[in-house]
Chain A
Amino acid sequence: MGHWTSTSPTRGRLRFGRRAWMWSVPLLLFVIPAVFLGLSDELPVILGWAFAATLSWHAICVRHCIEIDRNTGRLTHSLSSLYPIARLDVPLDEISGFCITKTAFERHRYSLMLMMSDGQRVCLFRKGRKTRVEKYGKQLAEFCQRPFREEISTS
């Protein structure tokens, strides 16, 4: 679930996956004892352990957020997990609004899109429940002082 925090009137942050660390608990029950007891010499066991360890790493360390800084005039969408994974940096001046939309094949999964003044469309959040995505869109739009619309392209 996304959580909106606004530390000052000019800075706001929408953070996702705050409870992702909970997924790491059952995984760590397997990963940590293996460190002390040692692993068997079968390849699938080693690969399975490495996979579980990678998943728990991300469950604990992943940081996914959309930050708006009206002082610098930028919107930053970043994804990191101790190391940077992906980042999108957009000037607020170029944003013409926010909208939620869905594809023809998905009835109840909505995406949050960023509409740019030059006609580009950038996806911020994918495939979420309508009420949830709408809430994020409205929070971001209100803070950026931009319009928010529902733009459904399928009949």
Chain B
Amino acid sequence: MSIKTDYLSLSKGARWHLKPDTRGRYYLISSRQVKWIIVGAITLLVFSSSLLMAILLSGREQVFYAITTVILLPFVVLALGMRNHLMFDPHQGLLLHSTRWWGLFKRESPGQALEQVSVTVAPIAELSEGCQLEMSGQRFTIGTFEQTCQLALFLCTHFGVRAVDRVTAWPEEKQLDAVPSDRCLAPAEGVSLRETPATPYRTVWEQHVMLKLALPFPLFVVLGAVLMLTGNQGG
């Protein structure tokens, strides 16, 4: 199957992190870019409220907000324009670190060889379900185990990176094998995935603990009422 068909069969979460560029190369959005965008979005929020105030108010207040707007503008432009990608280049066989700013100052520095790169399907341990993809010290939250495996196999099949699974035999790592090129990369076919758990276990903290702890309370309220009555009679 073609890379495009395989890409379209990936889950929404996977396609949010892995995108094709104009030249048909695929890249993962690095966590550094995500941080810049978050900073940019927060600054944009402050910037827009300042701008609104600068338009609506008059006198000294208008001057104050106008100055704030002017000060914030470069930060918004700087932060929102940052692009930092981990580009898979199968022609050079390299993982490229591509940076640019609003399409300017393009720089592609070569990283590891793709055969040396390993992508790991790892559990998000603090949650009862959900997996993420680990690559070059970065983590990408994808979704379910099946969806994350599908992305790992996509990268393994088309770019020759090493795909590893740390979920099924935790804490051991298991190699995932590339899917033959004539087969579609569907989650069910990609790998022998685990079955749905036979007995789902519920942690004690999810068993309405607070509600059950409050059970003696009504009893004590009644007892308190009785004590009040006896107290009043005695008095």
Contact = CB atoms under 8 A, between A and B. Distances in A.
Interface centre among A38, A88, A103, A116 (most CB of B within 10 A): A38
A2 B230 CA distance: 43
Interface stretch (B6-14, B103-111, B183-191, B199-207): B199-207
Contact of A116 (B126, B201, B223, B235): B201
A88 B207 CA distance: 10
A13 interface: no
A115 interface: yes
Given A77-B204, A118-B197, A121-B129, 17 more contacts: A37-B231, A38-B227, A41-B228, A49-B224, A49-B227, A51-B217, A57-B216, A58-B216, A86-B204, A86-B205, A86-B207, A86-B208, A88-B202, A96-B171, A97-B171, A118-B195, A123-B205
B170 A46 contact: no
B150 to A, nearest CB: 16
Interface residues of B, number: 50
A78 B204 contact: yes
Interface stretch (B19-27, B65-73, B117-125, B151-159): B117-125
Given A88-B201, A116-B197, A121 B209 contact: no
B56 interface: no
Interface stretch (A4-12, A128-136, A146-154): A146-154
Nearest to B232: A41
16 contacts: A39-B231, A41-B232, A50-B220, A50-B221, A53-B220, A53-B224, A57-B216, A78-B204, A79-B209, A83-B215, A85-B204, A96-B169, A99-B171, A102-B126, A113-B126, A147-B171
Contact of B224 (A46, A96, A147, A153): A46
Given A86-B212, A111-B126, A119 B139 contact: no
Nearest to A98: B171
A111 B194 CA distance: 25
Interface of B: 31, 122-129, 132, 137-139, 145, 167-171, 194-195, 197-198, 200-205, 207-209, 212-217, 220-221, 223-225, 227-228, 230-232, 234-235
A153 to B, nearest CB: 5
Contact of B123 (A77, A126, A151): A151
Nearest to A57: B216
Nearest to A118: B197
Contacts of B230: 38
Interface residues of A, number: 51
A54 B217 contact: yes
In the A-B complex, the 4 residue pairs with the closest CB atoms? A38-B231, A50-B220, A86-B204, A101-B125
A81 B213 contact: yes
Nearest to B31: A155
B204 A87 contact: yes
Interface centre among A34, A83, A99, A122 (most CB of B within 10 A): A122
A117 to B, nearest CB: 8
Contact of B201 (A83, A122, A154): A122
Contacts of A58: 213, 216
